[in-house]
Amino acid sequence: MCILFIANNIREDYSLIIAANRDEFHARPTAPSQFWDEYPNLLAGRDLEAKGTWMGVTRNGKIAALTNVRQPDNIKQNAVSRGELAVNWLASTSDYGASAHATRLHATTLEATREQYNGYNLVFGQVTEQGTGNLSVYNNANNTLHTIEDGVIGLSNADIVTPWPKVTQGVNALTDYTRNSATIHTEALFAILRQDNKAADEVLPNTGIGYEWEKALSSIFIQTPEYGTRTSTLLLVDNNKQVRWLERQFSVSGDTVDTREYAFRIGDV
């Protein structure tokens, strides 16, 4: 997962909206979204190489989403796969509810193991009894924990306070749409994730990967022969705790090759 946008508690119909793209090498084998055999309440796509996931939700309202932190000069060759971080939260049998206590306990675990992984941001939390998202994001590179407040935020391959151009673009687009549209249409959310305009040279991030890659990765939707946006995922939760999950998969050329949709009410296990 390389970019995500969250609209938290700003609408009366959908209290939580997450729109996210997973960017990955096209050669890496992946399974589409489904409920997992070993964790029947966990809905997520799956990385078939390391068996983890980049984003998921459970029937009891746990949510996790992962982005990598781009640190080309600080890559651990023997690092544990970051995809297990989302699974660890989603599959945990410990359920303290959507509370600050649960967040602190899990953040303590993340801090204790932070050196085992290459850089990441982990969004994690649980839907409250009122149907709103109680979410936080932990960054192991900076060892920081931020509460996701009401409003719209974006997160890519830096920390949550770094305003990369594509993050700002997506936040502005989602803010405008969610605040000014009478009805939420999922195609409009997918369109935000499909924006492929590149950042101007003067505002390109400089993360140490060279100009050509900085330019190629500067759009919300990425398309190169080796690497690109593999899936777009939408997670919507209404105030009755009804979940809608939509996933769209793309080919190397950017064509849609599969679309999946699931719906359930949180707590109906």
Range of the domain at 221: 3-265
Residues of the chain by 3-state class (helix, strand, coil), percent to 5: 20, 35, 40
**What's the chain's length in residues?**
269
> pLDDT digits over 42-89, tens only?
999 999 999 999 999 999 999 999 999 999 988 999 999 999 999 999
Strand partners, 242: 265
Mean pLDDT to the nearest integer, 124-134 = 80
pLDDT digits (tens, 9 = 90+) for 151-207: 999 999 999 999 999 999 999 999 999 999 999 999 999 999 999 999 999 999 999
Q: So what's the pLDDT on residue 104?
A: 83
Q: Provide the token pair at 12.
A: 């009366």
Which amino acid makes up residue 40? P
Reading the block at residue 257, the tokens are 């090759």
Q: CB-based contacts of 130: which residues, under 8 Å, 6+ apart?
A: 15, 239
DSSP 34-66: EE-SSSTTEEEEEETTTS--SEEEETT-EEEEE
Torsion of CA 158, 160, 164, 165, to 10 degrees: 150
**Residue 1's pLDDT is what?**
61
**CATH code of the domain containing 236:** 3.60.60.10
- List, for residues 14-54, the tens digit of each pLDDT value: 999 999 999 999 999 999 999 999 999 999 999 999 999 99
Say whether 67 sits in a helix, a strand or coil: strand
Which pTM was predicted?
0.96
| Number of separate helices (H) and strands (E) present in the chain | 5, 13
Phi, psi of 155 (to 5 degrees): -150, 130
DSSP output for 93-157:
-----SSHHHHHHHHHHHHHTGGGSSSEEEEEEEE-TTS-EEEEEEETTTTEEEE--SEEEEE-S
Q: Provide the number of structural domains found in the chain.
A: 1
Q: What is the DSSP letter of 209?
A: S
CA distances from 70 to 93, 107, 118, 209, 213 (A): 31, 21, 9, 9, 12
Per-residue pLDDT tens over the stretch 209-259: 999 999 999 999 999 999 999 999 999 999 889 999 999 999 999 999 999
